Amino acid sequence: MGCSQMRADAPGFDARVEDLYRALRHHVEDEDEELDKFAAEVDPSELRQLGDKFTSVKGYLPTRPHLNAPDKPSDGLVVADRLTAPIDRLRDAAEQRRV
pTM of the entire predicted model: 0.51
DSSP conformational letter for 1: -
Share of the chain above pLDDT 90, in %: 51
Measured in whole angstroms, the distance separating CA 12 from the mean position of its chain's CA atoms is 26
Q: Determine the Cα–Cα distance for residues 2 and 4; give it in Å rounded to an integer.
A: 5
pLDDT band at 60 (very low <50, low <70, confident <90, very high): confident
8 A C-beta contact, residue 70 and residue 47: no
